[in-house]
Structure 1
């Protein structure tokens, strides 16, 4: 039995009939067994030379053993016994007429006209038969249509049909977007004026349905939408011809209701920020959070993309490989404000990353990442608690009733899906799995010269810091103030009331960065030492908090009539808010979500050091040996662990 013979050993197993064809020509992609080949030479009627797209090795291939890459039938094929003999003969006659032309793709009209004159068939008919045959590659396309009233043929008088066409052009296809009823009335009015028997309303509605949707959208003023929907996107992204040449990023809410860690009750849908390498289609990184898309989610996703992921896999208990790291040459994003922040632009600039934006109102330019997110959401629809992607699919299913997964459980599933399924599954756009394409792009093969391994960051925390939001502040005697919160450490002492070197009358500004998920400390870069220092709250009694929790506490104080807040009032407000959340989280989804959000932030899981929270911090009694004044500030990957 040949490799492409159907398995008939099991009498209960059905065999699906398909009439797909293997295109045996130079440059075509074919499949033998589980391997995809590109044909480089046709030797004879039985053999071709093919290059395996994964290994780059050339092999002689038997044409009889080849299969099309996509060998899944799109629709059931009719049985040949259903075709009458007379139709068969007619199809064969038609094929004999066009046969000398079928393999000639550049056919001048004089050639077709000569063939038409030779066979006694109209030139337009030969063009039509050629088009039908080439659309399927089968003589069956030339079978005459069955007798009867054919679709598209009109039953009404020609002058009535002309009135309908006239009204469609002059009235319907206009920016005013008239209703079908108005079109019907206008047809009736014009027919009455011209003393023509009017067509029925159903006939007019039928003609309106035949108007191509692209024409309708353009005429009704939706030109950009028509372009995005009907203009094909390019098969390859410009300049994405090696790993990390172009990376795309986008966000989506997951079609899934998650539960909290404590009560395992519904708390809502998380957001996924995903990045992919366009050349190989591998997922370079992601960020999962209950917080809406922001500058932070974008920055953390980029940092995760650039950094090695061994510890990340260990954190989530996934036994797999994810050998993807490095700085992308270009990041391609949409026009959202989270991507257009000045801080993110400068972060990219610092790493030599070119930031490109999609043309406005032309989403097809983000097709690669959007297709990946769509594929991801389809996989999520198999999980308990899915919200599906449409009301129709969701009908009769209560997502909150079936919700069962916590954020950490879902994240473990997500990492497994990326590494074990998506990266290993053949991608139709590249003819191999994303991970194999990535390996070839890095190491090369017999046909491709690899670019080599990307440089590995020497200090992971430095990469993460670069993609945190930044601030410019002067340093006062009490330290630094950001959003009404004071920060101080001995690392700031040398720069108190410092002035600009070239302008002594102006105080000097310094760069600070913070992670909005935990604003209990900020990062300061000493311009002389070139080191970063971690600067904590000046008031050590203040608890760790996120920027969102801080804003919520200040809003509560304003409601109480407190205009200017001191830190004691802020501490009281935060304590009251947390107490309220703890008391009500078993009752309300909003409170459970807020509690879980704070719990996730307190874990301090970050791309630079995902296992930081699993290691024991040095105790105050046995501090690490460091120079005086640098105890709480000197940048170290293992120091951000409390």
Structure 2
């Protein structure tokens, strides 16, 4: 057992959140169950959050006495504590025979009998705390509820104060039910609420919002990312944009787009991004990173923003990411390894390791997106009374153009942490070699490595990809080949690149007159096709027809079961009666009955 483990053994006195506590049980995973000495609340805490105060006291030491004096000191005013320390000082002088009784009484302004009482109290183990004057009325920390009531309240809190729906009312209802069940008087609502509030705030927050949220709010965050230059570390993350966008043709609401952001940590410059209608995927990651690594003029021109100057690009030494699946695909890791980009994934559940990009996302959403028509704001409370779908007005293309300009504004605005704009910080930290002029071949090769990858079959008509046919004479000798790897540019689907015999071959549309489109335009068309149902058969009508069919089947099963059961009962009755009274039952199969009950009976006449 090491020193740290020895200090946190059962019975030791520790400090937790600046309050004294006693270690009850040392748990695995460097945790301990402790009892707060001030309010007797039991808490499970990490050992690193505890500060050792004293070894386990002897058997004659009583928690109650320590708790009483600790509460007494916490409740006392500063003047009372100061006065008790003066009393302790005077009594220590008297014991050391440095002053006599009259002098001591004069210093404290009291009579002899009062001084002797003070002298006796100061002789205890608690020193000046014992000399704090008692407040009239009920003693500090006194609880008037019975042990049964206290136990019921603790059980109700542990059972019902959980999840987002946790509230004082829910716990109090549980307390009333448990008291009625055990025949105990129900305590007041005020008493129950007081017990709930005695639970440490971080524990209550964890019970209500979960361990991850509690760690984010109350957990220690010792890690700090320190960078020395631009292009040293990029951070990348996704967020669901707080905005509903419209379909290009019908202007009907489509949904909320996803934003993938890439930021240079040292300068806070937004070096790349990608806006998608689909959930984060390898397409989003590849597009955002390739947008960050290469000159942007052609890409900006392809999305209708050729007039916007965005000259921030470069290859980072490291890329910081969370643990999402799209950041760990084999193709992405191979491309980063090939170009010597170190991938660093943050520890699971430690969002503060990506604090820079998280704050940037919050700045863009709250400061800018929430001002647009169709915003959903951050939560339901903020959105109250605002119809986001009805107010939506921007299409995906329009939002992309707006966001491109907003990035320029952000990069040129003074940053509170830098005390300068990200542009100025970038220019101060970059050199000419960081922005060397790439040839068109180098740019294409670099982008090709980071393009998203899929597999397809080669058919006689070519390759079917995203609803279109692609064909090239080079594919003729490979017809019938399956699981062929191909790469595509999300910004332009007019051609794809197919891996054949170890090299990529460019394959265009089969119909060269087909208009070019981006991956997001294709996805928007797909979403519009799903949301625009035929007018002659709506979703509601389809559900109604399906419900009627289900009712018909259930009714048929019920009727069949009832009929079969009735017939079985009749057969059982006939069989039983035939066996008991064979001569009295009409048998239509054999002829007329033995006795004709339809005729009137003849009166009996005697032969006499």
Shorter-chain TM band: 0.5 to 0.7
Shift of 1:523: 0.9
1:157 aligns with 2:142: yes
- 1:342 shift after superposition: 2.1
Mark the CA change 1:488 to 1:320 in structure 2 (over 3 Å): closer, same or farther.
Answer: closer
**TM-score in terms of structure 1 length:** 0.50
| Contact kept? 1:427, 1:434, Cα under 8 Å | no
- 2:434 corresponds to 1:453: yes
Q: Secondary structure, in 3 states, of the residue corresponding to 1:229? A: helix
The counterpart of 1:536, out of the listed 490, 508, 520, is 508
Counterpart-to-counterpart distance in 1, 2:410 and 2:464: 48
More helix as a share of residues: 2
**Equivalent residue, structure 1, for 2:568:** none
Whole-Å Cα distance in 1 between the matches of residues 523 and 276 of structure 2? 18
Shift of 1:413: 2.5
Deviation at 1:288, TM superposition (A): 1.5
Partner deviation per Cα, 1:503-554 (whole Å, 9 max, x = no partner): xxxx9997531246765532146768x7x54213557798878889999999
2-structure distance, mates of 1:300, 1:413: 19
Contact 1:259 1:403 in 2 (8 A): yes
Displacement of 1:376 = 0.9
Rounded to whole Å, the distance in 1 between the matches of 2:263 and 2:304 is 20
Superposition pairs of residues 128-167 of structure 1, within 5 angstroms = 157-158=142-143, 160=145
CA distance in 1, matches of 2:139, 2:309: 63
1:252 maps to what in 2? 239
Correspondence for 1:405:
394
Contact 1:259–1:268 (8 Å) recurs in 2: yes
1:424, distance to aligned residue in structure 2 (A): 1.8
Question: Quick check: 1:279 aligned with 2:260?
Answer: no
Aligned partners of 1:205 and 1:536: how far apart in 2? 70
Distance across 2 between alignment mates of 1:483 and 1:261? 19
For 1:403 and 1:259, locate their aligned partners in 2 and report how far apart those are by CA, in whole Å.
7
Aligned to 1:180: 171
> Is 1:340 the counterpart of 2:292 in the alignment?
no
Deviation at 1:386, TM superposition (A): 1.5
CA distance in 2, matches of 1:486, 1:357: 39
Give the C-alpha shift of residue 422 in structure 1.
4.8
Q: CA RMSD in A?
A: 5.3
1:452–1:159 Cα change, 3 Å: farther
1:307 aligns with 2:300: no
Provide the rounded CA distance (Å) in 2 between the counterparts of 1:439 and 1:232.
35
Which residue does 2:450 correspond to in 1? 467
Residue 430 of structure 2: SS of its match in structure 1?
helix
- Indicate the residue corresponding to 2:354 in structure 1: 366
Report the equivalent of 1:387.
376
> Does 470-479 or 331-340 show the bigger shift?
470-479
Is residue 521 from structure 1 mapped to residue 495 from structure 2 by the alignment? yes
CA contact (8 A) 1:295 1:338 kept: yes
How far apart, CA to CA, are the structure 1 residues paired with 2:374 and 2:524?
29
**Higher Cα radius of gyration:** 2
Equivalent residue number for residue 135 of structure 1? none
CA deviation string 1:24-61 (max 9, x = no partner): xxxxxxxxxxxxxxxxxxxxxxxxxxxxxxxxxxxxxx
- Please identify, of 250-259 and 163-172, the stretch whose mean Cα deviation from structure 2 is larger: 163-172
The 8 Å contact of residues 191 and 198 in structure 1, kept in 2 or not, is answered as no
Structure 2 counterpart SS, 1:244: coil
Partners of 1:333 and 1:244 in 2: how far apart?
Answer: 15
SS of the residue 2:332 aligns to: helix
Summarize the alignment of residues 91-110 of structure 1 with structure 2, pairs less than 5 Å apart.
none
Return the alpha-carbon distance in structure 2 between the equivalents of residues 485 and 380 of structure 1: 35
1:302, distance to aligned residue in structure 2 (A)? 0.6
Q: What is the CA-CA distance between 1:358 and the residue it aligns to? A: 2.7
Deviations 1:139-180 (A, max 9, x none): xxxxxxxxx99xxx9887346499887777777458995962
Q: Give the deviation of 1:313 after TM superposition.
A: 5.5
TM-score when normalising by structure 2: 0.53
Is the alpha carbon distance of 1:155 and 1:581 closer, same or farther for their aligned partners in structure 2, counting shifts above 3 Å? same
Preserved contact between residue 161 and residue 207 of structure 2 (Cα < 8 Å): no
| Structure 2 CA distance for aligned equivalents of residues 154 and 427 of structure 1 | 51
Separation (CA, whole Å) in 1 of partners of 2:158 and 2:438: 59
Distance apart, 1:374 and its partner CA: 1.3
CA contact (8 A) 1:318 1:415 kept: no
> Which whole-Å deviations, capped at 9, do the CAs of 1:480-504 have from their partners, x for residues lacking one?
67799875424457x7599xxxxxx
Q: Decide whether the 8 Å contact of 1:524 with 1:534 is kept in 2.
A: yes
Partner SS state of residue 332, structure 1 = strand
> SS of the counterpart of 2:243?
coil
Write out per-residue CA displacement over residues 389-422 of structure 1, whole angstroms, 9 at most, x where no aligned residue: 2112112222233333333333333222222235
